[in-house]
Structures are given as C-alpha cells and as structure tokens.
A and B are shown apart, each in its own frame.
Chain A
Amino acid sequence: MSEGMTHEQAREALEALALDALDASERGAVMAHVATCAICQSELAALENTAGELALAAAPIPMPPAQRDRIRARLLARAAADRAPELSAAAAPQLRVETGRSAAGGDVTPLRPYTKVRRTFGPAAWMAMAAGLVAILGVGAFLKASRERDAARQSLAAVQAATGTQLAALDSLRATLTARERMISSLIGPQVAVMTLASTNPASPTGRMFWDQQRDAWTFVAHRVPMPKTGRTYQMWLVTPTAKISAGTFMPSPDGEVMMQATYALPKDSLAAVAVTDEPMGGSPQPTTAPMMVASK
C-alpha cells in the first residue's frame, strides 16, 4: 500500500478527492492507492460525476453581448488555426496574406539601406519609408508559440499524472501555458493587425509586429538582428502623424532572434508606421538615428 494508506483510509477520502478539496499532503497518498485499486477507481468516477453536477447549482449568467461575441470570435479563430494542417517552415511563405499597397509587386517592398536615408527625418520621411510595405501573416511566430504551448501542455499533463507534491511545478507550467495561449491569441486574434518590417539587404534583419487592438498588446518578432555596438540598444517606435511613441528597447539573442512584447493603447486609426532605431543604452525620448527597420500599418 503506497505511503501506508489502507483501502479504508483512501475510501474515506474519495469524496474530498472528487471535490479536489484534499490537502496536498494527503492527496498524493490517496491517488497512489486509487491508481492500484479498481474499486476506488470506480467509486471515484461516480463521485466525480456527482461533484460535476454541483456546478449546475450556480445560476446561469448570460454574458454581455460584446463579451460573449469577443470570446466566441477568439475561440473560433483558435480552433480554426488548431485544426489547420501542420505547417512547415517551408510552407509558410505560401500563407502570406497581402493587404495591398505593394508597389513592387513582391511580398515585401525593399527599403533603402538605412545608411542612405536622410539624416533629418520628419513624419513625411517616415511615411515615405513605410509606404509600399505589406502586412504578412506571421506563420513562423505562430508555429513557434504553438510548439511552446504544446510542449507546455504535454509537460503539464505529465506533471498532473504525478503526485500532489509537485504543485509548485504545476503552477509554473500553468503560467507558461497561459502565457503561450495568450500570446497565440495576440498573434491570431480577429483584431490583430500584422506589419512586416524589412530592409533591402537579404542578410538584414526582418521582423513582424502583431498589434492586438483588442488588448492593446504589441508583439514584435524579428530574425537576423545583429548585436548593437557596445553601449547601444534597439528601440521600437509607434509612429503616428503627430508623434513617435517609444514602445521600449530590446536586445537580440546571440543568434539574432527577438521576441518583444509591449502594451500600449493607441486609437485604431492613428498608427502610421512602426520603426526600429539604434539608440544609446536605456533608450531615447525621441529617435536620434534613422530607422533600420520600418513598416506601415
């Protein structure tokens, strides 16, 4: 008998186990017994059904229509993405969705190298640089987040199968899972605008900004971003017709990958572009260099 718990002792705790009200110290021992006892397994299943019915005692509460529809839209978007065939990285470009204004006919209109951009750059210059870019669905980022989510889910299931002594690990995994689910939602939700930032040199960095307009969440994913010089950092800007708003600084990983998230409420129609500049460590109140990456809304 595991951890000294007899059948009688375990049986007396099955109701509390079915209600998930056992203290952690007791839960592991009861579950260890149940795992080896067909009688207790059967009894627990019946008790769990009864416990499940308790939920009906709570009065149903209709949701406000906006909230009801918001959740529904997110669920259907997630489900549609979930049932899609497994996408390979090679297939990703085929899923690009153009939203128009591509002047060169390609997926991404190359920008002038940033070294040739005018050193004095007002809003008009930023608009000019942003013109012609297209929005592209970030399949790579979505797949990455999906894989992380699935890994977290598998880990969570494994830990749940273990004893109750691992509650701390469970907490951490649940937090990871929740964060990944939220990130996926902010990448594929119905009100997410996607912008691609690019430059001319094939070896230059590329990035995508996902703007979840419902949650005011900004997720920036970039590749091939070189490490800035000592004492320098990168800074993200949200450009409106009247202001350049800092969305924070970031540093790439050693292999040039960037994943940055920020929260900022911006009226839907006021964004003209997003851009990245090279700034002194700690960031600047306003851009002090020409943008190295930029994209229109």
Chain B
Amino acid sequence: MNPPSTPQSYLDQGNAASVGAGSGQGRAVESEDEALVRRMAAGDDQALGVLYDRWHPVVHGVVSRMLRQADDVEDVVEETFWQAWRQASRFDRARGAVQTWLLTIARSRALDRVRALRRRREEPLEGDDGQDVVQQVAEGDPGLDAEASERRRLVVAALSGLPAEQREALELGYFGGLSQSEIAERTGQPLGTVKTRMRLALQKLRSQLQVLGSEGEGSG
C-alpha cells in the first residue's frame, strides 16, 4: 500500500518530545519508541519489555473498553505486544507513530476477540455500550508521558467537536466492534444514515486533528 498523500503533520507530532515540533514527514531523528521497535526487529527482547512498560496502560485502557472479561483483556494485551514483537520489522515510521501502530494492533486483536465471543455466545454485543469516551479525559492520564497525554488531549478535543450522533456511530463501530448494519439495528436508524454519519465523523476527525495539531505546533 502506498504511503498516504495527505498531510500527516499531526502524526509526526506524536513523538514531538524527541523529534521536535513541526519537523514534518521528512524528520530524520528517530524517536525513543521508534528506536525500541528497531531494536525489537533486531531481536532485542529487552526493548519489548521497555515498550511494554511505556505503553501497557494505554493498550490496557483500549482493550478494557472493548472487552469485559478480565481473562480476555489479559490475553489481548499480551497478544498485542506479542504481535508488535513479531511484526516489528514491518513498522514503517512514514505511515504513523509507534503508538498509533501499537494501538491499531490492540484494537484489531480486541475486535477479533469481541466478534469471536459474540459468535460463540450468540450475544448481540460484547464490549462498548455506547458510553461517551469524551468525558473520560478529565480523569487524568495515569501512565502516559507528556507527549502521549497531549496527543490524547487532541484526539478527545477533536471527538468532542463532532455532533453527538456522528460520535456515537464512530464509537459504536470503533470500540463496540459493530458493523454498520449492527449500528443501524442498535440505534434504530436507517443503514444509509449510519453510513453517512460514520463517513462524515471520520472525515471531520481527520481534519480536526490536522487543525489542532497545526495549532499545537504553532503555539509550541
């Protein structure tokens, strides 16, 4: 797959502490997380330990939001970092920050488990119940360093800027693991409406993150 042609300044800022604000896609300095992933790719298991120490609260937070059973959460957290270890050589810094890569893995593994559980138990939904994540930003960010905390603030701010019904579609799909048809069934909205809301939501989130990221660079 080709690298994205769209501006990615907000992604580059994800490692601003070591990269430097506004360094853009052409940055040459390797972030601390990127160095860890490079060492992992070379077979350094201690680097995996450090990456785990840095990011396990965030991964645990995402996985806990999608799965209810503690055993499932523990398994998925472990499998997330295990997949990161196995695929470290495939990490491409041009496509995004390490944290985005890691959290994408976490969400994907959790989604697999959510769907497998639903099929096995024939339950309508495991995981997210539509609870609004935005309110959680004020609770503090235990375990997050300053740059990750700032990045999280931007994402929550961008989500807060979305209309409630668009945010709901986004969260039911992302954290709940529901397909568009399932969201339509859950919310009682026509499928076409759900599709439109989801499309607009992600587009707005993308542009909002770009704007907020640019403002952050300008003020920083």
B20 adjacent to chain A (CB < 8 Å): no
Q: Provide the B202-220 mask, 1 if CB < 8 A to any CB of A, else 0.
A: 1101100100000000000
Q: List 28 A-B residue pairs with CB atoms under 8 Å apart, sorted by A's residue number.
A: A15-B203, A16-B195, A16-B198, A18-B202, A19-B174, A21-B183, A42-B2, A42-B4, A45-B1, A46-B6, A47-B206, A49-B8, A50-B209, A53-B205, A54-B170, A56-B156, A57-B133, A58-B61, A60-B143, A62-B142, A63-B77, A68-B56, A71-B74, A75-B78, A75-B85, A79-B82, A83-B43, A171-B119
Q: Provide the A30-57 mask, 1 if CB < 8 A to any CB of B, else 0.
A: 0000000010011111111111111111
> Using a CB-CB cutoff of 8 Å, which residues 119-153 of chain B contact chain A?
119, 133-134, 136-137, 139, 141-144, 148, 151-152
Q: Are B85 and A56 in contact (CB under 8 A)?
A: no
B21 adjacent to chain A (CB < 8 Å): no
Lowest 3 CB-CB distances: which A-B pairs, in order? A55-B103, A21-B173, A79-B45
Binding site for A on B (CB under 8 A): 1-6, 8, 10-11, 43, 45-46, 48-49, 52-53, 56-58, 60-62, 64-65, 74-75, 77-79, 81-82, 85-86, 95-96, 99-101, 103-104, 106-108, 111-112, 116, 119, 133-134, 136-137, 139, 141-144, 148, 151-152, 155-156, 159, 170, 173-175, 177-181, 183, 195, 198-199, 201-203, 205-206, 209
Interface centre among A41, A63, A72, A181, by most chain B C-beta atoms within 10 angstroms, is A63
Who on chain A is nearest to B112 by CB?
A174
A90 adjacent to chain B (CB < 8 Å): no
Give the interface SS of chain B, mostly helix, strand, loop or mixed.
Answer: helix
A97 adjacent to chain B (CB < 8 Å): no
Q: Are A59 and B137 in contact (CB under 8 A)?
A: yes
Assembled-state Cα–Cα distance A71/B183 (Å): 34
Chain A residues near B111 (CB-CB < 8 A): 20
A223 adjacent to chain B (CB < 8 Å): no
Chain A residues near B143 (CB-CB < 8 A): 60, 62
Q: Are B56 and A181 in contact (CB under 8 A)?
A: no
With A16-B199, A79-B85, A83-B45 as contacts: A63 and B116 at CB distance below 8 Å? no
Q: Are B60 and A62 in contact (CB under 8 A)?
A: yes
> Contact partner of B202 among A47, A56, A70, CB < 8 A?
A47
Q: Are A50 and B202 in contact (CB under 8 A)?
A: yes
Binding site for B on A (CB under 8 A): 12-13, 15-16, 18-24, 38, 41-63, 67-68, 70-72, 74-76, 78-80, 82-83, 171, 174-175, 178, 181
New contact pairs (12) apart from A45-B4, A54-B159, CB-CB < 8 Å: A12-B195, A24-B179, A41-B2, A44-B1, A45-B1, A52-B103, A56-B156, A58-B64, A61-B57, A75-B82, A79-B82, A181-B82
Assembled-state Cα–Cα distance A19/B78 (Å): 22
Q: Are B170 and A19 in contact (CB under 8 A)?
A: yes
Chain A residues near B170 (CB-CB < 8 A): 19, 54
Who on chain A is nearest to B149 by CB?
A60
Chain A residues near B8 (CB-CB < 8 A): 46, 49
Chain A residues near B58 (CB-CB < 8 A): 55-56, 58, 60
With A60-B142, A61-B64 as contacts: A53 and B2 at CB distance below 8 Å? no
Assembled-state Cα–Cα distance A171/B195 (Å): 26
Chain A residues near B95 (CB-CB < 8 A): 45, 49
With A60-B141, A79-B45, A82-B86 as contacts: A54 and B205 at CB distance below 8 Å? yes
Q: Are A56 and B45 in contact (CB under 8 A)?
A: no
> Contact partner of B141 among A18, A59, A63, A82, CB < 8 A?
A59
> Contact partner of A23 among B101, B119, B159, B179, CB < 8 A?
B179
Who on chain B is nearest to A19 by CB?
B173
Who on chain B is nearest to A72 by CB?
B52
Who on chain A is nearest to B42 by CB?
A83
Who on chain B is nearest to A177 by CB?
B79
> Contact partner of A53 among B64, B74, B155, CB < 8 A?
B155
Chain A residues near B174 (CB-CB < 8 A): 19, 21, 51, 54-55
Q: Are A15 and B198 in contact (CB under 8 A)?
A: yes
